[in-house]
A and B are shown apart, each in its own frame.
Chain A
Amino acid sequence: MNERDREILTLFEAGNPRGLARAISRAEAGGAAELMHALFPRSGRAITIGVTGPPGVGKSTLSSALVKTARTAGKSVGVVSVDPSSPFSHGAILGDRIRLIEHFTDRDVFIRSMASRGHLGGLAGATGDAATFMDAFGLNVVLIETVGVGQSEIEIAELADTTVVVMQPGSGDSVQLLKAGILEIADVFVVNKADHPMALQLKREIRGMMEMLTFASWVPRLVMTKAHEGAGVDELWTAILAHEEYLRTSGDLAERRRAAFAHRVRALVMGALEGRVDRRIDELIFKAGTSAEDPYRVAAALLAPLEAVLPPADGDRSARTPRPRASVKGLE
């Protein structure tokens, strides 16, 4: 461990928030390996909640209210707020933090904003690391909040113990949302802006969709909230705790965490490979000039040295995808 990481670890172990903040920065820079080695064993005690949904539904307001409820219950909270980066300048204005303003002087609430930095999944690469560090730091609850565009809803489900999907009535998003994938990943559905005239209709639509599925074990709860007023947030907290309880008693927690672990290993490996594979492709194709061979041949040549090390590829990718929590009735 180098000098700098040692410094960070010292601060971290002393419970100094600078230590946690700088550890997260190391993760964002891709240099957290040593710190993770030291700190990973201390993680696993926090409950991790993912909050996702389309832009504008009130996720941040809801998160803020949820933090408040958690605090009232005596829990310390870490929040990771993921915002999109500009594809042009790679800069970002990270604006979700502002919604959590009432918690800014609370020493037991640690808020970190992250830019997605072009990460394909929509979730910043270092999000999982940040959550682990917050956990290791001793925070009881870790909340990961992301805007649901692209595949980030799926990703969040791979990282969190409990996934909360927030929707709002009358936006036309509901149909979009209830596309395959979202329905299966939500542990709790939230219909925010519950006083909207179309709120009940959305509730019925969600229930209707759920009717078409058989759930493996946990049946997702549905909560109506008015985040601005704080209404329904206690019910949401109760639903989250109920899910956590279910995970513990059913043994699903261990499995889910194993899947999350696998997901993170995959992300690290693929991330590392991507750059190096690209450089090889550069050499093989761009620098060597036009090839007479077809793409399959070239790809096979690239992979050849790995043949000895990895299991054979086959068509079945089912081991990668999360075990479905639900399946369509009649097609199980």
Chain B
Amino acid sequence: MTIEIKTAKMDTVRNTFGHIARRFGDKPATRYQEATYDIAAQTNFHYKPLWDQDHELNDPTRTAIVMEDWYALKDPRQFYYGPYVQSRARMQENAESNFNFFDKRNLAAKLPDGIKENLIKFLIPLRHAEHTANLNNMYCTAYANYCTAVAQATLFEAMDRFGNAQYYSRIGLSLDGNTGDSLVEAKAEWMNNPIWQGLRAYCERTLTIDDWFETFIAQNIVLDTLLDNLYFEQYDVWLSEHGAGDILMLTEFMRERSKESHRWSDSLIKTVVNESDQNADQIKSWISTWRIRAQQALEPLATGLLSEDALAEAYAALAGRLKKIGLAD
């Protein structure tokens, strides 16, 4: 015997909002669609920004990239606010559990000699690079505000990177017994050690870029791909081989999040590149400029962290990614 719960059927007057129906047809819409498409102000702005009289408040011409329809840059993860925080809440629960495990069993004390110093010198300073990534993605959010599909994704990226910065800080606290000494040391490394100055200069430079899409390229495509490979592929292996595999629990969040985020940024760039030759050429030009700068910036770091061959391997990873998103050399 089947049981059917009957609910009263009511005919709807319409299926969705006008702008959604014009875009997707007259049918019920998804929550991602209703939350994202065509909700940003487009026209008839009342005042010019005092801080930029050459543009409107929401203005696609703040970038050299041109899209017929910016909403083509849909997030394949379909993150609007709800799914985004819920996804990160699940991930932070795992991270929390990992940190608790590490701390309760005093795994810091069990690390082989020299590892703690290595981490403070090479891993913890990444918190400052993540801080830059937070700022750069906020920059994109502020200026891509005419297209919520892009602005919300860069906002989520910005908050993620801030979360990363805090997790790297917590690793430091796990290593120094909550004194904060490791963070002071790591900052001194970031500020003074020659191996970090290239990256620090690169970070400072990205914060002065004008075109927000160029910022996106310099940060999310060029730099992140290289650092991800160095740290989450090569350094991971090095840590395991040197008896410090426990640390991988503490960087799990950063690693997994990055992989997931690349699904979005890959899709975004691919769509922009496919739109027009001008877009493709512009992006290639930016990549060409920033990969050279990144090369200079990361040489000492990669060598110090791993070996002289490490950066080349990272560049191979970058080349692979660029090929995947339609930017083969």
Genuine A/B complex = no
Residues of B within 8 A of A (CB): none
